[in-house]
Amino acid sequence: MKIAFLDTNLSFLCMAHEILDNINCEIHFFTEAAEVGMYGEKPGIIDNWPLLRPDWVSPIFSQEPNHQSTAIRQSWFRKAISIALANRNCIFHLRTKVKNVNSSKIEFVGAGFSGSGNLTFDHIISKQQTPDKVWYGGTLLEPIPNIDNSIIGKRPDSIIEIWSENELPPDINWLQQMQWKGTNPKNSIDSEINMGSARAQEFLRSKTILN
């Protein structure tokens, strides 16, 4: 069985791991990025660690959360999961633009595993609709500024991650500023992991019914 994922978001990465735990299949990921997790930092707020089984995540080194951490750099987290998937023989088509998709075939152009061409799959899994609500994020070193109704986490490297429904004050020495569309950055990592698990279980149940 060949399965294609048309993104490398956290829920898809977790979904792929769970599918591989249960059935023998070949999994491909398509992304225009040069590296999984390389662009577009997303919320990394966490309540606990670890979030996944150890064999689902390759070493994160300096970004490995400790008992004081309340955030993780999500780009590194996603990259670590993708490395673990690559070690399970998943194929990542990087710098690759999907030109056309029908029920079983993907037409693509770019670099990566096969360059440009067409590939046929038994299942093609697309992104779900993204909420329109915009959140504004920023990272900085302590001290933590007083921003009303903000969501705050501290990464293992002591960098502070802040998210707010309102635009962040410009008079702060931000290391990085971000925008993210979603429901709530406070539980976005947990929500994506749970969504990946739920979609994997739904997928596996459908295979059981068909068989």
Domain boundaries, the chain: 2-130+188-210
For the chain, percent of residues with pLDDT exceeding 70: 97
Buried/exposed code over 114-129 (b: 16+ C-beta within 10 A; e: otherwise)? eeeeebebebbbeeee
pLDDT in tens, 7-66: 999 999 999 999 999 999 999 999 999 999 877 799 999 999 999 999 999 999 999 999
Apex 108 CA angle, 106 and 113, nearest 5: 100
**Alpha carbon distance 120, 161 (integer Å):** 41
Q: What is the C-alpha radius of gyration for the chain, rounded to an integer number of angstroms?
A: 18
Annotation: CATH topology of 2-130+188-210:
FAD/NAD(P)-binding domain (3.50.50)
CA dihedral 27, 28, 29, 31 (to 10 degrees): 180
Token pair recorded at residue 135: 């959140």
The proportion of the chain whose per-residue pLDDT surpasses 90, expressed as a percent, equals 89
Please enumerate in sequence order all residues whose Cβ is within 8 A of that of 147, keeping only pairs 6 or more positions apart, or say none: 162, 164, 168, 169
Q: What is the DSSP letter of 49?
A: S
The torsion angles phi and psi of 78, rounded to 5 degrees, stand at -65, -40
**pTM of the predicted structure, to 2 decimals:** 0.94
Residue type, 98: V
